[in-house]
Structure 1
């Protein structure tokens, strides 16, 4: 029997892509994120670090600082556009990256995002915004989105009920995001997570934070880093990894497109439990509304999409963090769309629907993930299963379901046209936060 040819022991893999590599660092605790950035600079002095300082934003001042391992190359004030930090960054970051790629050919870059910026927004800008008439990916290869979490403060951030406005760190006057929402979105979009340092409560609690991150983002590569740091090792773990996949959907749309939404780990690991609910019958709207507080009482993070019997055309998004539940529309179920509009839906979603298509229900289903400490998965499942329609209710049919008393009526409007940008989990139409 012949065997497949193998490369000789001395062979090396050569990356034919000659574009400089970009690593994007995010994290809500800038001391930890900056420590990672400085470690990468220490290992490679030619690396270019681009960061924006928002400490003076309330006075209308944003500073752009670019440095390499031997010192600061540029330190300039950037005009605050439209009173909005996000607008300013969107209009300044990409041209800055392109400019330094051209002025420093062959040198890789690290972009360190301000603590309130979500990496998915940067990824969207890189995908859709042009610089000099061309996407930046013509010049730069986006290698990885890395989120750095401070082990000492992570749980406090995830459990926080504060919003950015209350804390005085909002990116614009209309920025009403919750702190916990920012942290979970930084975690869930990343392809690499770095847990930095140690919990103040000791080694067990640090391990618990590591398990919690594994449950929140089972699709990511996970690293634990503590002083002293080996700069060479960390560089090999974080740079030139090719981990970023530009086509991967946002968290809430993952399940619709057949990607992993969460891991079902009902047995506690360091007290962390992750429970997945999947079902092929709809929720009764009133019964679901009555248990919202109960099912999230011990939850740190829950997410996914669901099917309400009273609104059978609508994919309802669900995400909980920081004590608040947000629900909104993710558009139509495919079964409710005429065939000539399916061509406007992502190929991956159509494929995922076809694999689990039900002759009666079509692609409609429940897919929710709950993650928490000391969570009782049996009680959680019992509470949610009790909200599903009974056999007798199913037999009544869809016309009867639509007439159910619905506390969610009017909360999830569907536009005249199908929403096709279901790769984002931050702009659900008609979102309601409880």
Structure 2
């Protein structure tokens, strides 16, 4: 463990108007070593700081709860849950535990580390209504620059890595890591700062997200000195507001901003979906189809897996189709661009309006639901 950055540990300073509220940072990662390195470094640098860590207990519906301080483990218990899901774990155990720990006079802040692969938007969303003696100061996501390209764009699943939360968790590694990086207001990237992995992260992060290098160089105020903006974090993940961020291209990373007022042709979308979403890509966005003009559909893809669904209702105006796709293999760029163009209604089809689609067969119903279903 590297030496502390100061000779005297510091204490997090309370925010104005939150004098008695303890700051809590949600720390997520796929790599246990990286996460624990950051947590240990911060514990050694701050008086009164505790880590509340959860681990999945194998072959059980229980979670292992650990409370750790700079001088060692304070608590180590198995917690039985009614349902093995993120929201249940946070609601049933983390909420009362945070309240209990925040009530201890010697505690100045808490680092909450849910099990590896947890989605921080679910963790924070479940915790927010219960803020009182504590408040959410930040969401921190850790990743290794050396493996970021493979983790985000490769086809490995959480099950194959031994990282799934529970039986039935079919997410890809890329899907889980992208969710952590895109929600969090602080990203900590270890390893080479100018390699292909770091370049890819630059393309995926929004300008307002702080990017820090080296877990041991992260200071206590970086993670406990602010207030988590949950609405802004959710907006970054909202396909209705997707936009390209761009970034360096020294290692061949590219981002396509595919935007059109025309909808996808349902049949051609199905025919082109592998060309549009397959391979080593991270793609996000929204689309619509002419046989359900009242629905905005979400597109979310990583590592060759794509999920689509009718998520929102349109307003007074017709929606637009916009996909933002990032990759690093040069041959994928023209393939994706051309597949997007082929999937759209042609200008001639668009000129005929939506009337020809009334009552038409809906080949996307297995994925988007029946047309009369609420979205």
TM-score computed with the length of structure 2 as normaliser: 0.85
Question: What SS is found at the alignment partner of 1:386?
Answer: helix
Could you give the per-residue CA deviations for residues 118-141 of structure 1, whole angstroms, max 9, x where no partner exists? Answer: 1111112113xxxxxxx4312212
The match for 1:212 is 200
* Structure 2 residue corresponding to 1:254, chosen from 229, 238, 241: 238
* Structure 2 residue corresponding to 1:383, chosen from 335, 339, 349: 339
Aligned counterparts of 1:114 and 1:247: Cα–Cα separation in 2: 23
Could you give the per-residue CA deviations for residues 250-282 of structure 1, whole angstroms, max 9, x where no partner exists? Answer: 3686342xx4533256x8342111111111111
Q: Structure 2 vs 1, CA of residues 208 and 140 (structure 1 numbering), >3 Å: closer, same or farther?
A: same
CA contact (8 A) 2:184 2:233 kept: no
Q: Structure 2 vs 1, CA of residues 407 and 304 (structure 1 numbering), >3 Å: closer, same or farther?
A: same
| Aligned positions, number | 359
The match for 2:29 is 27
Aligned counterparts of 1:253 and 1:400: Cα–Cα separation in 2: 34
The match for 1:223 is 212
Deviates further, 154-163 or 118-127 = 154-163
Deviates further, 294-303 or 37-46 = 294-303
1:93 and 2:89 correspond: no
Q: Structure 2 vs 1, CA of residues 290 and 14 (structure 1 numbering), >3 Å: closer, same or farther?
A: closer
* Structure 2 residue corresponding to 1:277, chosen from 244, 252, 258: 258
CA contact (8 A) 1:64 1:76 kept: yes
1:137 and 2:131 correspond: yes
The match for 2:123 is 122
For 1:182-221, what aligned pairs fall within 5 Å after superposition?
182-198=176-192, 207-218=195-206, 219-221=208-210
Deviation of 1:188 (Å): 1.3
Aligned counterparts of 1:415 and 1:406: Cα–Cα separation in 2: 8
Q: Structure 2 vs 1, CA of residues 249 and 14 (structure 1 numbering), >3 Å: closer, same or farther?
A: closer
The match for 2:8 is none
CA contact (8 A) 1:295 1:380 kept: yes
The match for 1:371 is 326
CA contact (8 A) 1:188 1:251 kept: no
- Across the aligned residues of Structure 1 and Structure 2, the Cα RMSD in angstroms comes to 2.8
For 1:43-192, what aligned pairs fall within 5 Å after superposition?
43-54=45-56, 56-59=57-60, 61-82=62-83, 87-104=88-105, 107-127=108-128, 135-192=129-186
The match for 1:424 is none
Question: What SS is found at the alignment partner of 1:334?
Answer: coil
Q: Structure 2 vs 1, CA of residues 211 and 264 (structure 1 numbering), >3 Å: closer, same or farther?
A: closer
Deviates further, 40-49 or 76-85 = 76-85
TM-score computed with the length of structure 1 as normaliser: 0.74
The match for 2:269 is 288
The match for 1:241 is 226
Deviation of 1:285 (Å): 1.8
The match for 1:328 is 309
Could you give the per-residue CA deviations for residues 378-423 of structure 1, whole angstroms, max 9, x where no partner exists? Answer: 553343223322232122221213466653134312686854xxxx
Structure 1, gaps ≥5 residues long: 1-12, 128-134, 336-361, 420-434
